[in-house]
């Protein structure tokens, strides 16, 4: 897939003002109350289905702000999902957030290149193996599951799957919508 094909022309942009129905306005208001900001990124195409947008925003808020994982681990998993889907918008948004949260830039570079980072914390190594196995094989082995469960408990296992699944869902939507990356944000090269 080439960058040109993915970036343009954009599909599923903003719902035109003349097509906004009461349910769109309610969804926008609910989003603004939840996130304290205007709709952005994946929520722009999601607004075409207002109730899905509101429910998706609520799940995303939980995963980023209150999940079983601290930001440096949740952002690490988000990067794995973004890389798997070669999702430029999510990468451009979350790469700087991940680094600010404490993910080593060398780890970010390795994930961007599609390589297993050479040096990671034990927690990152377990999550890397779990998340990459999940997205590449559509499941995890007993050994991988056992390491994740021992490190993070059952709640952690469930929330790791949901974080990767949530950002995979957004990646599929953003790739379909051809949502461009953040201006001047880092993007991904296709893997060979």
Decide if 7 is inside a domain.
no
- 169 and 123 within one domain: yes
- 75 and 170 within one domain: yes
Q: What is the reported pTM?
A: 0.90
- 75 and 61 within one domain: no
Decide if 189 is inside a domain.
no
User: Which of 30, 50, 65 delimits the end of a domain?
Assistant: 65
Decide if 3 is inside a domain.
no
Written as tens digits, the pLDDT of the chain (192 aa) is: 334 445 668 888 899 999 999 999 999 999 999 888 899 999 999 999 999 999 999 999 999 889 999 999 999 999 999 999 999 999 999 999 999 999 999 999 999 999 999 999 999 999 999 999 999 999 999 999 999 999 999 999 999 999 999 999 999 999 999 988 888 888 788 776
Rg for the chain, CA atoms, rounded: 17
Confidence (pLDDT) at 7: 61
- 141 and 109 within one domain: yes
With CA atoms as reference, report the closest residue to 50 among 33, 17, 26: 26
With CA atoms as reference, report the closest residue to 169 among 71, 70, 49, 20: 49
Residue 91, CB half-sphere, CA atoms under 13 Å: how many? 23
- 82 and 45 within one domain: no
Decide if 104 is inside a domain.
yes
CA distance 166 to 144: 20
- 94 and 158 within one domain: yes
Domains in the chain, number = 2
Decide if 187 is inside a domain.
no
Asked whether the beta carbons of 191 and 84 are under 8 A apart, the reply is: no
Decide if 184 is inside a domain.
no
Please report where in the chains the tokens 């681990």 appear, as a residue: 73
- 129 and 98 within one domain: yes
- 78 and 111 within one domain: yes
Please report where in the chains the tokens 């196995």 appear, as a residue: 133
Domain that holds residue 49: 13-65
């Amino acid at each position: 897939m080439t960058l040109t094909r993915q970036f343009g022309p954009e599909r599923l942009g903003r719902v035109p003002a003349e097509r906004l129905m009461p349910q769109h306005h309610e969804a926008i208001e609910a989003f603004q109350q939840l996130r304290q900001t205007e709709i952005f990124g994946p929520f722009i195409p999601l607004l075409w289905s207002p109730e899905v947008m509101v429910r998706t925003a609520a799940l995303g808020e939980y995963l980023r702000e209150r999940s079983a994982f601290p930001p440096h681990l949740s952002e690490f998993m988000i990067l794995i999902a973004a890389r798997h889907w070669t999702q430029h918008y999510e990468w451009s948004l979350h790469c700087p957030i991940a680094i600010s949260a404490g993910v080593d830039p060398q780890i970010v570079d390795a994930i961007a290149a599609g390589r297993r980072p050479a040096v990671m914390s034990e927690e990152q190594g377990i999550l890397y193996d779990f998340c990459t196995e999940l997205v590449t094989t559509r499941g995890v082995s007993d050994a991988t599951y056992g390491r994740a469960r021992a490190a993070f408990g059952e709640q952690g296992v469930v929330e790791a799957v949901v974080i990767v699944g949530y950002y995979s869902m957004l990646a599929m939507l953003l790739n379909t919508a051809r949502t461009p990356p953040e201006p001047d944000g880092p993007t991904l090269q296709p893997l060979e």
